[in-house]
Amino acid sequence: MSSIQWPFPKARFTSGISSAANQRVQRWAKKRQGIDKAVTTLRPGRVYILPTGVGLIYALMSFAMLLGSMNYNNNLSFVLTFMLAGLGFVAMHQCQRNLVGLELSFAGVEPVFAGQSAQFRVAVSNHSKSPRYGVMLYADKSVSEVHDLPPGESRVFTLAVKTDRRGWIQLERFGVRTFFPFELFRSWAWMHMNLRGLVYPAAADDAPRPPPTQSAQGHRQHDARGEEDFAGLRRFHEGDSPRHVAWKAYARSGQLLSKQFAGADTSSQWFDFNSVPTEDIEQRLSILARWITDTDQSRADYGLRLPRREFPPAHGEAHRQQCLEALALFGLDDANG
């Protein structure tokens, strides 16, 4: 939609306003509106509107046509001029009404690795009886796809936000806007939902090979089958050894369960923060993230040992997420969050 800004070369929230003034305006808007709830309906008072570049040209053209009509004293060209001017007024109100009453609700964001874009999902619902056209979401450096919203319908918009380091990515403010109709006006609303998404450390590309499994090192040789410290039962996963299936439990309940054992398993690995062969903390986290994702793909069990935290070997999506989240928030102030 960058051509909307034409003839102004660069896309901005408000054309022609310097970024300092822009920030002041945004602070003012935030102070005025307060923090929004996760489900917010747009009141008319918070939908702002300004003409676009095309709108300014349209106004200029209408004025030129007015002068021409006056000069030629031509009543039909007065009709044309005033029709266009009237359409301008109508378009202004139509543009604002195209947003007012929409309901925005946060629909979640998947964690990503640093360097990837976090996809914030926001659902926009139209509860009115009239369709809304050309609605889009935008943030500082990204614009979502454009959707029409028929009466009673909802659409989930995704806002891609670039991430560069692990931790929480904040989406303090985003906006919803429309150029409908005619793109003469841009009406928008700023949303302050304080959305945040998790960013895992980037998985290192040049990671050293993961440490060999403990069984290969000869640890607990006698315990090769790992059947000693029974820890509990869990749902059977594909790839679990049939030896570990709790057949008795299966006979009772008809459900396939695997026995879980504490301690080493022949196929399990421990990734220890302290034994990663590098000094830099971020680098270590990166390498750990790489080991976890690779091992996760091979469906082997793995455990993660961080200073003060430990995740016993396991596999599966939940385990992977737990481990990566611990890496993402490692050493951060709100790491317990």
Partner 1 sequence: MAKPRGTDGSLLASLPWTLAALALAIVPHVQFLPIWITAAFVACCAWRYAIEQRRMLLPATWVRALLALACFLGVLITYSSVSGVGPGSALLAIMAALKLLETRKRRDQFVLLFISIFLVMSSLLREQFMWSLPYLMIAVLLIMTAWLRMSATQAESATSSFRTSSRLLMYAFPLALAMWVFFPRIATPFWAVPIDTSSGTTGISDTMSPGDISSLSLSDEVAFRVTFDDAIPQPRDRYWRGLVLHSFNGRSWSGREHATDRSARDKIVVSGAPIAYTVTMEPTRQQWVFALDIPYTWSLARTTMGSQHQLARVQPIDQRIAYDAVSYTEYQTDVDKADIFPRRSLDLPEGSNPRTRELAQTMYAAAGSKSAFIESVLQKFHQEEYFYTLQPPALGNNPVDAFLFNTQQGFCEHYASAFAVMMRSAGIPARIVLGYQGGELNPKAGHLIVRQSDAHAWTEVWLEGIGWRRVDPTAAVAPERIDAGMSGSMLNGAAAAWGLSAPSAFLHNLGLSWDAVNAKWNDLVLGYGPDKQNELMQKLGMQEPDWRKMMLTMIGLVIGMVILISLLLALRYRTPRPDKAAILYRTFVKKSGISIAVGESPTRFAARAQAESELDEELIDDVTTEYLHARYGAPDSQSLQRLQQTVSQL
In this structure, are residues 290 and 209 in contact, taking their beta carbons and an 8 Å threshold? Answer: no
Q: Which of 21, 35, 90, 224 binds partner 1 (CB under 8 A)?
A: 90
Phi, psi of 142 (to 5 degrees): -145, 155
Q: Does 111 bind partner 1 (CB under 8 A)?
A: no
Q: Does 86 bind partner 1 (CB under 8 A)?
A: yes
Q: Does 125 bind partner 1 (CB under 8 A)?
A: yes
Q: Would you say 101 or 263 has its CB closer to partner 1?
A: 101
Q: Does 45 bind partner 1 (CB under 8 A)?
A: no
Phi, psi of 131 (to 5 degrees): -70, 150
Contacts of 297 (CB under 8 A, 6+ apart): none
- List the one residue out of 125, 144, 126, 111 whose CA is nearest residue 1: 144
Tracing tokens 């874009």 back to the chain, one arrives at 117
Residues 6 to 35: which contact partner 1 by CB under 8 A?
6
Q: Would you say 70 or 332 has its CB closer to partner 1?
A: 70
How many Å apart are CA 1 and CA 11, to the nearest integer?
9
In this structure, are residues 121 and 109 in contact, taking their beta carbons and an 8 Å threshold? Answer: yes
Q: Could you tell me the smallest distance in angstroms from the CB atom of residue 196 to partner 1?
A: 16
How many Å apart are CA 119 and CA 242, to the nearest integer?
39
Q: Does 44 bind partner 1 (CB under 8 A)?
A: yes
Q: Would you say 73 or 221 has its CB closer to partner 1?
A: 73
Q: Does 123 bind partner 1 (CB under 8 A)?
A: yes
Segment contacting partner 1 by CB under 8 A, of 22-30, 36-44, 212-220, 223-231: 36-44
Is the link from the previous residue into 7 a cis peptide, with omega within 30 of 0?
A: yes
Q: Which residues pair with 327 in a beta bridge?
A: none
Q: Could you tell me the smallest distance in angstroms from the CB atom of residue 300 to partner 1?
A: 33
Q: Does 78 bind partner 1 (CB under 8 A)?
A: yes
Residues 33, 94, 89, 178, CA torsion sign: positive
Q: Does 309 bind partner 1 (CB under 8 A)?
A: no
Q: Does 41 bind partner 1 (CB under 8 A)?
A: yes
Q: Which of 80, 224, 262, 332 binds partner 1 (CB under 8 A)?
A: 80
Contacts of 214 (CB under 8 A, 6+ apart): 220, 264, 268, 269, 270
Residues 136 to 165: which contact partner 1 by CB under 8 A?
146-148, 151-156
**Euclidean distance between the first and final Cα of the chain, in Å?**
38
Contacts of 139 (CB under 8 A, 6+ apart): 120, 159, 161, 171, 173, 174, 175
Q: Does 133 bind partner 1 (CB under 8 A)?
A: yes
Residues 179 to 208: which contact partner 1 by CB under 8 A?
179-183
Q: Does 247 bind partner 1 (CB under 8 A)?
A: no
Q: Would you say 69 or 267 has its CB closer to partner 1?
A: 69
Positions in the binding site for partner 1 (CB under 8 A): 3, 6, 39, 41, 44, 54, 57, 61, 65, 67-68, 70-87, 89-91, 93-94, 97-98, 100-101, 105-108, 121-125, 127-131, 133-134, 146-148, 151-156, 179-183
